[in-house]
Amino acid sequence: MNRSQVVASLQMNYQAIKEGKGKWFDKRVAYTIARSFVDKERHFSDTDFRRMEEILQGELKMFNVLVQPVRGILLGMLLANGKSKELAIHTLLTDYQRLRDVGFRASSYSYFSAYLLQFTETAEKEFVVRRGQSIFEEIKTHHYFLTGAEDGSIAIALAQQEQLESLTTKQVGDLAEEYYQALNECGFHKSNQLQFAAATAAMLTGEFSIELVEEVKNVIDELKQLGLRFRPEFYNSIITLGFLATLKKVDFRVLQEYLELLDEKTNLRFYKDFRYSLALGLLIHEEMSILSNDNLNISALTITMMMAQEASAAAAAIAVSVAASNSSS
């Protein structure tokens, strides 16, 4: 698909969501779900969504932590990945219980961690969740008051990385902290978003990379030239773009094109920052999609994991933002 078709597909999926069970979803939630279908070049089915939600509600206890908007986003992400059978729900809930059994919190955000475990072989899941819990605790030692249930997914993502297998969990936590301090010196405000971005940098590189930090500075400059404010909700996308820039040239004119198309074709007139976040996500997906065609030393599985983790991070960020705005209104 060309970019115009990508945004048209995004809007088509958004409309299908809003005309169905997602009628009352926040626009940002509906577009986040729609984006996951565009990424996979699939079409949203309200029938499948309702059926999967019915299965999920039948499996969950009456009093559970999986509430909106996380429940809707997760179901959308599963369906976008072709997971439309009862087994997908069973696997998600089983993996959630694995996480709970090793000490992860009972939280709707822990389901994002469970979602990521579908990309791990069953025989390796126990090791990954235990390593992930240990990494989570190491991150927490550096920023006790910043680290919450929403950070569990990045701990699992770190535990899934082959290039980090040679490091102890303490070394992984220390690497994330080294990035935290370096990025703070680049102008990133100390925050949960910075902690998430620092962990993403550690996940992508496997060791501290001055090159990545320099490319991140360049990305910030490019975004400023396009009129994008340097906001915390963009931190993770900036890190991912910085990493991509260490592998290949990133054409930021594409971002401008996506911004113009989103302004023209979507219902996000009053959601400027989210529109920017969405455009960044579409640019990242386009750049990742062509990585394997550039004869780079990066496997298709690594690209798949990067895309899954980026999508999960974006979805978690929207869920946190929407939940916060709902609680303050």
- Whose CA is closest to 98, among 156, 178, 42? 156
C-alpha distances out from residue 159 to 69, 123, 135, 253, 298, Å: 26, 15, 7, 35, 18
Q: What is the pLDDT of residues 169-190, one digit of tens each?
A: 999 999 999 999 999 999 999 9
Determine the distance from the C-alpha atom of residue 274 to the mean position of all C-alpha atoms in its chain, rounded to a whole number.
Answer: 14
pLDDT value, residue 61? 79
- The helix (H) or strand (E) run that includes residue 127 is helix 122-142
Least confident of 51-65, 118-132, 134-148, 249-263: 51-65
Instruction: Tell me: pLDDT of 159 over 70.
Output: yes
pLDDT value, residue 37? 94
What angle (nearest 5°) sits at the alpha carbon of residue 176, between those of residues 170 and 179? 140
Q: Give the whole-angstrom CA distance, residue 52 versus residue 35.
A: 19
State the angle between helix axes of 235-247 and 210-225 in degrees (0 to 180), rounded to the nearest 10. Answer: 120
pLDDT value, residue 301? 60
Q: What is the pLDDT of residues 4-48, one digit of tens each?
A: 999 999 999 999 999 999 999 999 999 999 999 998 889 999 999
Q: Give the whole-angstrom CA distance, residue 173 versus residue 158.
A: 10
Answer left, alpha or beta for residue 42, where phi above 0 means left and psi between -120 and 50 means alpha.
beta
Domain count for the chain: 1
User: At 327, is the pLDDT very low, low, confident or very high (cuts 50, 70, 90)?
Assistant: low
User: At 251, is the pLDDT very low, low, confident or very high (cuts 50, 70, 90)?
Assistant: very high
Which domain covers residue 110, as residue numbers? 3-328
Instruction: Tell me: pLDDT of 296 over 80.
Output: no
